[in-house]
Chain A
Amino acid sequence: MSDNEKTPPDHPPDAPEKPAGAAPDAAPAGGEAPKAAPTDEEKAAKIAAAKAKAAAAKAAKEAAPEEPKQPWETKPVTPEHEDASADPDVAALAAAVDGSVLAADRFAGDVTVTVPAAKIVDICRALKTGRGFKFLVDLTAIDWREREQGRFDVVYWMHRFDDSKRIRLLAALPAECSIASVTGVWRTANWLEREVYDMFGIHFEGHPALERILTWEGFNGHPLRKDFPVEGIDTGAAIYPDVYPPGGGPLRPEELEQPEPKADGKGES
């Protein structure tokens, strides 16, 4: 019974979207009522009363001249992807470096430009010197494991002080997992690239000292790759290179070669 009584008050928060017919049609959610009605008349009466009450409240709500809803009282509006090739910086970049803009997208106010990985240093330099993006805020990578043409995106996120504009570059790596270092453009890229190397195994050519930074030398595998297990690996990786080969997560059990003795062992012992 309590279930049935609860239903009407639960509905109004969703209802304002479709206001029509609320007042005359007192049972929009009437589907549940017949279930309980035959067994207990009182129950049915109570339900009817509750419904009428809810309908009255709804009607009163609608009758009152409502103020426009505040943005936090309505459902959030998910941002849309828009084309951003008209953005002055994107246009300038396209003009400065040939074939540099593969796609330009604006989402939630962030401009993302997809660029060819082969020209990344030219592009970054053009943006820094030509467009004033003097500040590299962040450099990271994304592992799209399922993607066929190269699984990694390297992400550059830069800032311009004059008008506080930010722009993001997305460089999709070809299969070989290597990209030119931008440490010559912004020195801050040094540790950021080391971290990406450590976490994703992406090689940055021309980096002054590309070493692991958060894990230690001899650690096998790159933790933020999608095929690296969340629960971690045996940290004796350096001791068991056959189980934890360099450059990737550990082999899955079916990939591991079965130890020899079991097959031949019977005959010998």
Chain B
Amino acid sequence: MTDQRLPSLFDVEEMELSFGPQHPATHGVLRVQLRLDGEKIVDAKPIIGYLHRGTEKLFETMPFPQCIPHTDRMDYVAAATNNQGFCVAMEKLLGITIPPRAAYIRMMLAELQRLASHLVWLATHAIDIGAITPFFYTFRERDAILDLFEEYCGARLTLNTMKIGGVPFDLPAGWVERCSALVDAFPAHIDEYEELLTNNRIWKKRTIGIGVVAPEDAIDWGLTGPPLRGSGVRWDIRKVFPYDRYDEIDFEIPIGVNGDTYDRYLVRMVEMRQSVRILRQCLDRLPAGPVIAKIPKVLRARDGMVYGSVEAPKGELGYFIVTTDKATEPYRCRVRPPSFVNLQLLPDMVRGHLVADLVAVIGTLDIVLGEIDR
């Protein structure tokens, strides 16, 4: 005889859970509205916009060069690549060719920034999953990179370190040597992180087979950057549409096989090694000469629209700039944020997984809310 008052064990109601926006594992102010069956995710709905500051609107009100500091505030862990994206788009619009030394300095800053950004990703991703130790190692190296930035431009995070037509200053004395020392030591550091994680049984258990994305889906959903490459699509803006002087540099694009969280982890680890390789080549070949092109004091564009993009650590960061004739400010400046587009796939990636895996998937997408909300 059964007790009618108790519900059956298999007849539980779905629960709604709001994950975030004030949760350390959401990497900012992401809120995910979850529908749970026990601990299993039935559906997830990301809710964004908590950090919306109207950057695109602000761009419309200020002269082209003044837009650059605002780009820093979007992907705030990778400011240099944001600057680079805007400058590349503006140079395309105005027909500016930048001097080789400026291009090499930019590439070095961008690759250092990629390392710094990937280190933050690795630290937070690992700490979310439960591995606390990598955080201490990665932040040690990241600090050394930020020191190099500080020495170059005075800022550590919001760098504002590129100008339309080149870079604002030449490298300070001794910078190349210090950067060189860092670059030489870096592969050993990557080995250290890998030693902690790559063959770690818990790490593998938490990441293999989690958040699998098939290559067709990745393309259809517009993924870019490591999430796209993790699914096995060999595509990188630095190779496809080389900007600055990436066409002179020898490097490879790592791709994954299974499209799961573990593959995306491996892709980013190899990417760091490739960044070190790019840095080494830049340091060895750093040409002499001016660091900024000869450009008019007041930049005036003609009517037209251009799209310029760079490979940011998170994926393809594009700027779509529309100008009217003789304009000194953009009529419309659209930012194509990689994190925003990548985050779209979150519900599909976590459906059927456990809540704990949601944290792993958010980590593997490597989102930055400043960029998603703009």
Residues of chain A whose beta carbon lies under 8 Å from any beta carbon of chain B: 13, 70-79, 81, 107-110, 112, 134-138, 140, 142-143, 155, 157, 161, 164, 166, 168, 186-188, 190-192, 195, 199, 212-216, 223-224, 228, 230, 232
Task: List 19 contacting pairs A-B, 8 Å CB cutoff, sorted by A.
Answer: A72-B99, A73-B294, A75-B296, A78-B95, A81-B304, A108-B306, A110-B305, A110-B306, A112-B305, A137-B222, A138-B320, A140-B320, A140-B334, A155-B320, A188-B221, A188-B341, A192-B222, A230-B57, A230-B60
Please indicate the chain B residues that have their CB under 8 angstroms from the CB of A71 in the complex: 97, 293
Q: How many residues of B contact A (CB 8 A)?
A: 53
Bound CA–CA A75/B293 (angstroms): 9
Which of A75, A143, A191 is the one whose CB lies under 8 Å from B340? A191
Question: Given A110-B307, A138-B334, A138-B336, is A75 in contact with B219 using a C-beta cutoff of 8 Å?
Answer: no
A-binding segment of B32-40, B47-55, B108-116: B47-55
With a cutoff of 8 Å between Cβ atoms, the chain B residues found around residue A224 in the complex are 56-57, 332
Interface string of B304-318 (1 = CB under 8 A from A): 111101000000101
Please pick, from B54, B302, B332, B341, the residue contacting A191 in the complex, using a CB distance under 8 A: B341
CA separation between A166 and B340, bound complex, in Å?
21
Q: How many residue pairs between the two chains, A and B, have CB atoms under 8 Å in the bound complex? A: 129
Taking Cβ atoms with an 8 Å cutoff, the residues of B that contact A are 48-49, 52, 54, 56-58, 60-61, 92-99, 102, 165-166, 219-222, 233, 235, 240-241, 290, 293-296, 301-302, 304-307, 309, 316, 318, 320, 322, 331-332, 334, 336, 340-341, 344, 373-374
Chain A residues whose CB sits within 8 angstroms of the CB of B60 once the complex forms: 230
CA distance A227 to B57 in the complex (A): 11
With the chains together, A79 CA to B318 CA distance in Å? 19
Interchain CA distance A81-B93 in the complex, whole Å: 11
CB neighbours of B332 from chain A (8 A): 142-143, 224
Say whether B294 contacts A108, CB under 8 Å: no
Q: Are A72 and B219 in contact (CB under 8 A)?
A: no
Given contacts A188-B220, A213-B49, A215-B52, contact A76 B306 (CB under 8 A): no
Q: Is the CB of A168 within 8 A of B307?
A: yes
Ordered nearest first, which 8 A-B pairs have the shortest CB separation? Answer: A188-B222, A71-B97, A72-B293, A214-B49, A76-B96, A72-B99, A140-B334, A138-B336
Q: Which residue of B lies closest to A209 (CB)?
A: B45
